[in-house]
Amino acid sequence: MARKVTTRRKTINTVFAWMIGLLIFFPILWTILTSFKTEAQAISDPPVFFFFDWTLENYAVVQERSDYMRFLWNSVILAGGSTVLGLIIAVPAAWSMAFVPSKRTKDILMWMLSTKMLPAVGVLYPIYLLFIKLGLLDTRIGLTIVLMLINLPIIVWMLYTYFKEIPGEILEAARMDGASLKEEILYILTPMAVPGIASTLLLNFILAWNEAFWTLNLTAAKAAPLTAFIASYSSPEGLFYAKLSAASTMAIAPILILGWFSQKQLVRGLTFGAVK
Amino acid sequence: MATQHSRSAARIMMAPAVILLLGWMLVPLTMTLYFSFKKYLPLRGGDLGWIGFDNYVRFVSSSAFWPSVQTTLVIVLGVLLITVVLGVLLALLLDQPMWGQGVVRILVIAPFFVMPTVSALVWKNMFMDPVNGLLAHLWKFFGAQPIEWLSNAPLISIILIVAWQWLPFATLILLTAIQSLDSEQLEAAEMDGAPPLSRFGYIILPHLARAITIVVLIQTIFLLAVFAEIFVTTQGSFGTRTLTYLIFQRVLESQNVGLGSAGGVYAIILANIVAIFLMRIVGKNLDA
């Protein structure tokens, strides 16, 4: 029995929600708009919203001056590599905890979560030192491993809550019907686990992409991803809002698009199991 | 009905994750503890021997310590308060029937995808700049004196930036939780004449308790470690030096590793106090 809603009320809801939505989105919109302005228009008083001379010049300048593609590539490798590596390690672990739970499963899960609470800054120097000693400072491989480790507890935790949702009875039923272990995994478990794994992958890609403690502290030039690329804009030199905006837009665009496309899965990923 | 065989298989499957995390936790932690009892200045003489608890005493008695603890707590609690309260309200609103719900949801979620260095820079320059920032234009439009956000209201500015980033996360989780609420229960309450406020207080809010717990837990983990937002905006000046930032300065800027490591141990203890408290709630939820 759906509730009847008057058109009037729906209209009020719509107007109100759109206003708030646009307000929250506004900083991003403003950044994107500013990236197409000239530097003079970017700081004009009063501000101009749409009626300015649209230009792509800022993008060209930013790319030329700072080699955007290299930072982008580093971001892709670091975020993608750490996520895939994390999944390879976490899937079996979460799987066994969900389907063969023991008395200690809960303790292990809790302990894993507690390692995530270890403040990064508390181990900054040891990691820094180890990186120097092992020749990992400013390398992609070193940073990939660190990003994988800091997100591993979240990956395991998320996967566990997903796998937990898969009813054990289905497996038993399949077994009764004579399915082999291989068939069981291939035809029954995998299809049910894929959405959970995909959501986990996505969320961790985003978290790793946006990670800005280790990426700022353990990179210099070669392995620096987009977070560091943007931080290099933090010392202003004259008129630079439009270029800052262009650089920012380029840094967030890939993940913004990815996030929007997979919005539904993201909602499931962030909440499944943890919020019912 | 796990057999002995599947149990040992399970243990093997779990081993890589457990061993890696154990190493990731124990190796650096042991090193931090080790350095914290040494006078260790890499650029000024290196390892100058054991000094017992000197670093611990010096770190706490330095005039920067307590303000940094306070700053940390203000930022964490401020952001949590804003995101949870606004998150609940926003989730309630987004749950209402409307046109273009999907688009509004996309608009609301977007800040979550913006990397911290970008949001900090954009807010700092394009919004909070006292001359060219949009907020300054807005203030001038209403005839008010523009605020120098980052120097005169630094904590509020940083809380605002961080809350903007985390509001989508809270809203998203709470919205999903609200949508899973049995609407017949609400209708029954409505028919029995329960006013909106008590419907919210007795049905919706208790239903959301678990989701709110999750939001608080996950956010606290990330908020205690806020770094880029301060690194890019104030660099720890104007009273925005959190414990995290203070230790970062001791270790990497002044290269006093012993002192910074002692600070690191304090940060770990502080985080653990919060963690124990939060994990108990999550542990209960895991059983349910």
DSSP track, A46-108: SPPSS-S----HHHHHHHHHH-HHHHHHHHHHHHHHHHHHHHHHHHHHHHHHHHS--TTHHHH
**Model confidence pTM above 0.90:** no
Say if A123 falls within a structural domain: yes
Q: How many domains does chain B have?
A: 1
Whether A237 contacts chain B with CB within 8 A: no
Give the pLDDT of residue A273.
46
Q: Compute the average pLDDT of residues B193-220.
A: 82
Average pLDDT over residues B176-182: 81
A6 three-state secondary structure:
coil
Q: Which pLDDT belongs to residue B89?
A: 93
Taking residues B204-225, report their average pLDDT.
Answer: 82
Q: Predicted confidence band at B226 (pLDDT cuts at 50, 70, 90)?
A: confident
Span B25-29, average pLDDT: 90
A158 vs A199: CA distance, rounded Å:
9
Bridge-partner residues for B46, per DSSP?
Answer: B41
Q: Tell me whether residue A35 is in a domain.
A: no
Residue B10 lies in a domain: no
More confidently predicted of B134 and B30: B30
Range of the structural domain that residue A84 is part of: 65-270
| CATH for A137 | 1.10.3720.10
Q: Cβ of A126 and B141 within 8 Å?
A: no
Nearest to B233 by CA among B140, B127, B146, B135: B127
In a domain, A7, yes or no: no
Asked whether the beta carbons of residue B97 and residue A30 sit closer than 8 angstroms, the reply is no
Between B94, B140, B176, which is nearest A17 by CB? B94
Judged by a CB distance cut-off of 8 A, whether residue A17 touches chain B is yes
Q: What is the mean pLDDT of residues B206-225?
A: 82
> What CATH number is attached to the domain comprising B179?
1.10.3720.10
Q: What is the pLDDT of residue B237?
A: 78
d(Cα A42, Cα A39) in Å, to the nearest integer? 5
Q: Is residue B37 part of a domain?
A: no
A34 inside domain: no
Distances in whole angstroms, Cα of residue A205 to Cα of each of A81, A201, A210, B181: 9, 6, 9, 30
The arithmetic mean of pLDDT across residues B25-41, rounded, is 88
Nearest CA-CA distance, residue B8 and chain A, Å: 10
Q: How far is CA B217 from CA A244, B214, B220, in A?
A: 34, 5, 5
- A141 inside domain: yes
Search chain A and give the residue with CA nearest B130.
A43
Considering only A172-186, B107-121, B259-273, which range has the smallest mean pLDDT?
A: A172-186
The predicted complex's ipTM stands at: 0.84
A237 domain residue, yes or no: yes
* A1, A115, A270 member nearest B25 (Cβ): A115
Residue B1 has pLDDT above 70, yes or no: no
pLDDT in tens, chain A (276 residues): 445 678 888 888 899 999 999 999 999 999 999 888 877 777 777 777 777 778 888 888 888 877 888 888 999 999 999 999 999 999 989 988 888 888 888 888 888 878 877 888 888 888 888 898 898 888 889 999 999 998 898 888 888 888 888 887 777 787 788 877 777 777 877 788 887 888 888 888 988 988 888 888 888 878 888 888 888 777 655 458 888 888 889 888 888 888 877 666 665 555 444 554
Give the residue carrying structure tokens 């301060």: B230
| Whole-angstrom distance, CA of residue A119 vs CA of residue A211 | 14
Q: Which residue from B minimizes the CA distance to A215?
A: B228
Question: By C-alpha distance, which of B202, B209, B174, B205 is closest to B87?
Answer: B174
Among A254-263, B12-21, B121-130, name the one with the lowest average pLDDT: A254-263
| Segment 24-53 of chain A within 8 Å of chain B by CB | 24-25, 27-28, 30-31, 34, 43, 45-47
Output the CA torsion A83→A86→A88→A91 (10° steps). -110
For chain B, give the longest Cα–Cα distance: 78
Domain membership of residue B197 as a residue range: 65-240
pLDDT value of position A272: 40
Domains in chain A: how many in total? 1
The kind and range of the H/E element at B39 are strand B38-41
Distance (Å) from the C-alpha of residue A178 to the closest C-alpha of chain B?
Answer: 18
Cβ–Cβ pairs < 8 A, chains A and B: 311
Residue A138 lies in a domain: yes
Q: B29 and A109: CB-CB below 8 Å? A: no
